[in-house]
Amino acid sequence: MSSYKDKKVISIGTVNELTGLSVRQIRYYEDKGLIYPERTKRGTRKYSFADIEMLLQIADKREEGVQTGEIRKDLEKKEKKVVEQMLRGQLNAHFKMK
Domains located in the chain, CATH noted: 4-95 (1.10.1660.10)
**What is the model's pLDDT at position 82?**
77
| Under 8 Å between Cβ of 83 and 75 | no
Tell me the C-alpha distance between 36 and 76, whole Å: 13
Whole-angstrom CA distances from 80 to 12, 27, 39, 74, 95 are: 28, 25, 25, 10, 22
**What is the model's pLDDT at position 32?**
93
Query: Of 25-29, 69-73, 92-96, which range is least confident?
Result: 92-96
* Tens-digit pLDDT profile for residues 14-61: 999 999 999 999 999 999 999 999 999 999 999 999 999 999 999 999
- Residue 55's nearest CA partner among 47, 46, 67, 44 is 47
Tell me the C-alpha distance between 45 and 51, whole Å: 12
Tell me the C-alpha distance between 67 and 70, whole Å: 5
